[in-house]
Structure formats: structure tokens, C-alpha cells
């Protein structure tokens, strides 16, 4: 009995951002990269802008500065043109190890804008947040 419980607990799925972005963007989508905190985001932004302008599905993610946990943000464009903004938090409980969560918001539209002197894709008019995985 103990072995069965341990096996069931060990099979609990992990909440990760990569699979959610890839699934929405689809198998033929362009991966524009995963940029760690402090990394150069210019190539990732350039890839996303080029993909959007060409009407291609894509996904991109970058790490954000969290207060007490690891935080990642991402954008994905599906083959039908639908865009979503994602937010992944490694422990939204503030350090009590409650587990990671990922949420997304459907964009009214994805568009190119210049932010801090860098041309990038932004999510305009995000809808309500929905949980992708986690608590």
C-alpha cells in the first residue's frame, strides 16, 4: 500500500511553462527562445517581431525578477493568429513551497511596439486569467 501511494505521488505532473507555450503555438511554430534573467533579449524579440509580421506561429519566454520565487513570462501565437500572454511563478505562496503555477490571458491582438527603445511583440487587451497548470 505504501509503495502504491509513493508511486501515485511520484507521478504528479509538474507545472512547466515550456510545454504550455509549445502546445498553443503548435508543432510548426518558431521557437524564439528562452532568455534567463539578465540575458540579452534582443534576438528573442527580433524573432518574435519577424514571426508576427510574417504571420507565423511562435513562442518566446523570458525570466522576470521575482520577489521570493522564480518567475517567467511568455508569449505564444497560435497558427490561427490567436495570441496569449503567460506568467509562470515557481512558488506564488511566498516561500511555503506550494508548487508552481502557470496562468495565461488571451490577447485581443498581438502587435509590435517599441518599449525602452526595443521593438517587441506586446499583448494588447488581455482577457481574464486562466490557470494552465498548478494550484
28 in any annotated domain: yes
114 in any annotated domain: yes
Give the number of residues written for the chain: 135
Q: What is the pLDDT of residues 36-81, one digit of tens each?
A: 999 999 999 999 999 999 999 999 999 998 888 889 999 999 999 9
5 in any annotated domain: no
Q: How many domains is the chain built from? A: 1
Asked if 132 contacts 102 with a C-beta cutoff of 8 angstroms, the reply is yes
The reported pTM is 0.83
Alpha carbon distance, N-terminus to C-terminus of the chain? 27
Distances (CA, A) of 63 to 15, 39, 70, 81, 127: 16, 9, 8, 24, 22
62 in any annotated domain: yes
**Does pLDDT of 12 surpass 70?**
no
110 in any annotated domain: yes
Q: Which residue has the higher pLDDT, 120 or 1?
A: 120
Spatial distance between the Cα atoms of 80 and 64, rounded to a whole number of angstroms: 28
8 in any annotated domain: no
- Which residue range is the domain that position 38 belongs to? 17-134
Q: What is the pLDDT of residues 25-39, one digit of tens each?
A: 999 999 999 999 999
Q: What is the pLDDT of residues 73-131, one digit of tens each?
A: 999 999 999 999 999 988 887 767 778 999 999 999 999 999 989 999 999 987 889 99
Phi, psi of 129 (to 5 degrees): -75, 140
6 in any annotated domain: no
**Does pLDDT of 2 surpass 70?**
no
Amino acid at each position: 500500500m505504501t509503495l502504491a501511494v509513493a508511486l501515485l505521488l511520484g507521478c504528479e505532473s509538474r507545472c512547466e511553462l515550456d510545454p504550455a507555450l509549445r502546445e498553443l503555438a503548435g508543432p510548426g511554430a518558431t521557437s524564439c527562445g528562452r532568455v534567463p534573467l539578465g540575458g540579452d533579449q534582443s534576438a528573442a524579440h527580433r524573432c518574435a517581431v519577424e514571426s508576427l509580421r510574417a504571420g507565423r506561429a511562435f513562442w518566446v519566454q523570458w525570466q522576470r525578477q521575482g520577489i521570493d520565487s522564480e518567475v517567467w513570462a511568455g508569449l505564444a501565437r497560435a497558427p490561427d493568429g490567436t495570441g496569449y500572454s503567460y506568467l509562470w511563478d515557481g512558488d506564488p505562496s511566498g516561500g511555503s513551497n506550494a508548487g508552481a503555477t502557470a496562468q495565461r490571458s488571451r490577447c485581443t491582438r498581438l502587435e509590435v511596439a517599441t518599449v525602452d527603445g526595443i521593438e517587441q511583440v506586446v499583448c494588447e487587451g488581455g482577457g481574464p486569467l486562466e490557470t494552465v497548470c498548478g494550484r
